Amino acid sequence: MLYEKELLISPATFTKIPKTMGSLDDSVSVTRQLITDEEAGESMEIEFYSREVHAPELYYHYIEEPPCLKRQIIDTEVDEGDIVMFDCHFHCYPPPDEIRWCKDGRTLALNNRCMVRTEETTTSLLLCDVSKLDSGDYTVEITNACGRITSKAALHVYLKAVENLGKLSKKKFNSIFKPIIETLTTNIKFNEY
């Protein structure tokens, strides 16, 4: 069974008193509030003590340094139509002024197949639906006021199935495809006109 009482709560009063608590010597704020239960004829005064804390200001001193690599991009081999991601992690201060991705020495044009994502200490190149034309040497160049660093990797894109067939010996090729060709030619009937 629940019942509700009406309590009269007086407005809070705030007082700053010079008082020390613990080892701090700052003044303490006291909040007093009177709560009255009229039915019971009781009143209660509540006090809250609080102190403003002044933390010392912290100063950071950063040492300027040129970019250094934590993880380099690596040579990659994929099939045509795959997605490739080159991922490079670096550290430098001040932050980079420029991050540039290149293919065969030329700055990459960004589009829906070639995207770059850069965060504080990471830059990534994403190539979608790669073709044989995407094969080449990729470079990321990170530059700040103190210097520059590069990482280089080769990408080789294989044509699906066709390029792999060129690597087969004639004997292996005949053992795989001769039965298929014989089956197709014996099962195909030509219409005579």
153 in Cβ contact with 76 (< 8 Å)? yes
- State the pLDDT at residue 181: 62
List, in order of start, the domains of the chain with CATH numbers: 7-51 (no CATH), 65-158 (2.60.40.10)
Q: Region 158-164: what's the mean pLDDT?
A: 68
Whole-structure pTM over 0.75, yes or no?
no
Buried residues in 176-188 as b, exposed as e (16+ CB within 10 A): eeeeeeeeeeeee
Higher pLDDT, 3 or 31: 31
Q: Among residues of the chain, what percentage have pLDDT more than 70? A: 52
Residue 114 has pLDDT above 80, yes or no: yes
Element housing 166 (H / E)? helix 162-166
Q: Among candidates 75, 5, 12, 92, which has minimal Cα distance to 40?
A: 5
Region at 136 (left for phi over 0; alpha for psi -120 to 50; beta for the rest): left
| Whether residue 2 has pLDDT greater than 50 | no
Q: What is the mean pLDDT of residues 164-172?
A: 61
Which of 53-57, 105-109, 182-186 tops mean pLDDT?
105-109
